[in-house]
Amino acid sequence: MIEIFRLAKERKMEELLSLHNRTKQKLLKNNIFQWGDWGNGYPNKEFIKTSLDKNELFILTFPDRIIGSVVLNQKQSIEWNKIPCKISRGD
């Protein structure tokens, strides 16, 4: 069963960075560019650490492997309904 999102502080930052890097590579391979310049932009170690410190980063696991993460806070600057998305299943 898929676990409900929980605070990511319980997990190693390296595991989260690895997940984001794999996601980034898959998006770039499919010509999907988000969050500006991936080389210096989101996601990065500083962003993940700050989100962990603020208790704003949550993860989804299945069963013990991280399969997703999300930052939840009160001030979101991204207008998600205006961003074209392509959702695909992948490793």
**pLDDT tens digit sequence for 8-18:** 665 667 777 78
Domain range list for the chain: 6-82
Token representation of residue 48 = 């993940």
pTM of the model: 0.49
- 3-state SS, residue 43: coil
What's the CA gap between 70 and 51, in Å, rounded? 10
24-50: pLDDT as tens digits: 777 778 776 655 554 544 566 777 777
